[in-house]
C-alpha cells in the first residue's frame, strides 16, 4: 500500500509544521535547534513566555542572545512572528530590533510580526514582581523580576493592556489610569514601594506604540495563509516542560504553558495544523532559580559541568544548578508533549567524566516510582535511582555522523532513545551552528 500523502486546500504537498519544546527546566538549547530547523521552514512563531527566556546562538563565531524575537531571524529570507501567548516588554523588543539592525540583520515588518492580541508588560508589573520577591525572603520563587507573572495575572483578570492598545491613545490612557489606581495602592500600602505616575508611562508607551505599529497584526491569519499556501511553520516555545504553570514543579514554575499544546492557543491555530513535536534534551540537567532538583550535583562533577558548559542564564547571568540526566523528568515530558523526536544538546560537555550516571526512577520512601509526584512534600522524600555508565574523553565537536562518535557516547545516546521510546532527530556536539549531527529523515 502506498503511503498517504497530505495535501492542503490548493492541492500542493503539505509540509510538516513542527513544534519545538524544552523537556527539562528550560535552558536546554532550544535556540540552536530552532536555528537549525529554520533552514527548512518559512515562518518561525514564538508562542508563549516573555523576556524572562533567553536563547543564545553562536553563528560564524559571533554570539547572539534573543529574549523575544525568534532566533530564526538570523536567516535573511525567513519571517518571524511573536504570538498572542507571549507577554511583551516593548522596550526589550525595540532594543532587540535596533541591535539586530545595527549588526546588519534587517528586522523590518516584512520579517517580523507582533500579534495585536499579545499582552504588554508595564512598569507596574515589574515593580510588583520585585516587591513580592523581596517580601517573600527565603520563600522566594526565584523570578527574574521582569514582570512576566503579574502581566499574565492581568491577562487572566481581564485588565491587561494588549499590543493593539498601544496604537489607540484613548484606550491606553483609560486602561493605564484604571490599573494604576489598584497597582499603586498595592505598591505603596502593602509592599511599601514607590507609586508609579501615569503621565511618564503613558508618554513612553505611546511613543513605543508608534514605533511598533508597523509590526502589529493578526498573526493567526498570517499563519493560516502561510500553511494554506504550502509553507512550513516552526513553533518555538520558551522555558521547559517542568516549568509549566499546570504541569511543572508548582509553585516553582513560570506563568505560562511551555508544553506543545500551548502552540495552538499561543499562536491562534488548530491542533490539526501540527505535525511533529521535537523535544530538546540537554545531555545533563540544569535548573535556574529555586525549586526541587533531585539529580543536582553539589560536588566537583557538578562544578566541572557548570564551568565547562558555561552554565549561566542568558537572561539573568545567574549560575545554573547542574546535575545528572533525569529520565523521570524526560519521560513525563514525552507524555505531556506527545514528542515525535528528540534533539540532544551539549553532549560534548560530558567528555572527560570517567563515570556517568542517569536517573531511571525515584525511590520514594521505599517505593520505586517512575513519575514525578505532584506533591512537593512527597517529592522531598524521593531519592534518585541511578544507572552508571562509562564516559569518554574524546573531543566530539568535529563529529558529524553518529557512527563516528566514541562507543560510550553512542551508548549514552542509545540509552536515551531506548528509555524514552522516542527517536533521535538532532545531536548537538558544540555551540556552533555547524557543530551538529542531523539524523536522516529530519526533513
For 306-350, the three-class secondary structure string (H helix, E strand, C coil) is HHHCCCECCCCCCECEEECEEHHHHHHHHHHHCCCEEEEECHHHH
Whose grid coordinates read 508609579? 196
| Cβ contact 294:355 at 8 Å | no
Whose grid coordinates read 491562534? 268
Q: List the catalytic residue out of 35, 55, 244, 332.
A: 55
Q: List the catalytic residue out of 27, 154, 165, 244.
A: 27
**If we measure between CA atoms, which residue out of 419, 421, 239 comes closest to residue 327?**
419
| Cβ contact 49:237 at 8 Å | yes
Residue 42 annotated among the catalytic residues of the structure: no
Integer CA distances (angstroms), 210 to 118, 167, 168, 207, 213, in order: 16, 7, 10, 5, 5
How many Å from the N-terminal Cα to the C-terminal Cα in the chain? Answer: 23
**If we measure between CA atoms, which residue out of 405, 432, 434, 433 comes closest to residue 424?**
405
Residue 55 annotated among the catalytic residues of the structure: yes
Question: What DSSP character marks residue 439?
Answer: P
Which cell numbers hold the place of 433? Answer: 551552528
Positions annotated as catalytic residues are 27, 55
Amino acid at each position: 500500500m502506498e503511503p498517504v500523502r497530505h495535501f492542503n486546500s490548493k492541492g500542493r504537498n503539505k509540509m510538516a509544521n513542527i513544534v519545538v519544546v524544552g523537556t527539562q527546566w528550560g535552558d536546554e538549547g532550544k535556540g540552536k535547534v530552532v536555528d537549525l530547523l529554520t533552514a527548512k521552514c518559512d515562518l518561525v512563531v514564538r508562542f508563549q513566555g516573555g523576556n524572562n527566556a533567553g536563547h543564545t546562538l553562536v553563528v560564524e563565531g559571533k554570539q547572539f542572545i534573543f529574549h523575544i524575537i525568534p532566533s530564526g531571524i538570523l536567516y535573511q529570507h525567513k519571517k518571524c512572528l511573536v504570538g498572542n501567548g507571549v507577554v511583551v516588554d516593548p522596550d526589550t523588543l525595540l532594543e532587540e530590533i535596533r541591535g539586530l539592525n545595527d549588526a546588519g540583520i534587517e528586522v523590518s515588518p516584512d520579517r517580523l510580526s507582533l500579534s495585536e492580541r499579545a499582552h504588554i508588560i508595564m512598569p507596574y508589573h515589574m515593580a510588583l514582581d520585585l516587591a513580592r520577591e523581596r517580601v517573600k525572603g527565603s520563600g522566594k520563587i526565584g523570578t527574574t523580576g521582569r514582570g512576566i507573572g503579574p502581566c499574565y495575572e492581568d491577562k487572566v483578570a481581564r485588565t491587561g493592556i494588549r499590543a493593539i492598545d498601544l496604537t489607540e491613545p484613548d484606550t491606553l490612557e483609560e486602561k493605564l489610569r484604571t490599573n494604576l489606581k489598584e497597582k499603586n495602592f498595592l505598591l505603596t500600602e502593602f509592599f511599601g514601594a514607590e507609586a508609579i505616575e501615569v503621565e511618564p508611562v503613558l508618554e513612553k508607551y505611546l511613543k513605543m506604540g508608534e514605533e511598533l505599529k508597523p509590526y502589529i497584526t493578526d498573526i493567526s491569519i498570517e499563519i493560516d495563509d502561510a500553511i494554506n499556501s504550502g509553507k512550513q511553520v516552526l513553533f518555538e516555545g520558551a522555558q521547559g516542560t517542568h516549568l509549566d504553570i499546570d504541569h511543572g514543579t508548582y509553585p516553582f514554575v513560570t506563568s505560562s504553558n511551555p508544553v506543545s499544546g500551548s502552540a495552538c492557543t499561543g499562536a491562534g491555530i488548530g491542533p490539526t495544523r501540527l505535525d511533529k513535536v521535537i523535544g530538546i534534551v540537554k545531555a545533563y540537567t540544569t535548573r535556574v532559580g529555586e525549586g526541587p532538583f533531585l539529580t543536582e550535583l553539589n560536588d566537583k562533577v557538578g562544578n566541572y559541568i557548570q564551568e565547562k558548559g558555561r552554565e549561566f542564564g542568558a537572561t539573568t547571568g545567574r549560575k545554573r544548578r547542574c546535575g545528572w540526566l533525569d529520565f523521570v523528568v524526560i519521560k513525563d515530558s514525552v507524555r505531556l508533549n506527545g514528542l515525535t523526536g528528540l534533539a540532544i544538546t551539549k553532549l560534548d560537555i560530558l567528555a572527560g567524566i570517567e563515570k556517568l550516571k542517569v536517573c531511571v526512577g525515584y525511590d520514594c520512601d521505599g517505593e520505586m516510582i517512575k513519575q514525578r509526584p505532584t506533591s512537593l512534600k512527597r517529592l522531598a522524600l524521593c531519592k534518585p535511582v541511578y544507572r552508571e555508565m562509562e564516559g569518554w574523553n574524546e573531543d566530539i565537536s568535529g563529529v558529524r555522523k553518529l557512527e563516528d562518535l566514541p562507543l560510550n557516547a553512542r551508548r549514552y545516546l542509545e540509552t536515551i532513545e531506548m528509555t524514552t521510546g522516542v527517536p533521535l532527530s538532532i545531536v548537538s556536539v558544540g555551540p556552533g551552528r555547524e557543530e551538529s549531527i542531523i539524523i536522516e529523515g529530519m526533513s
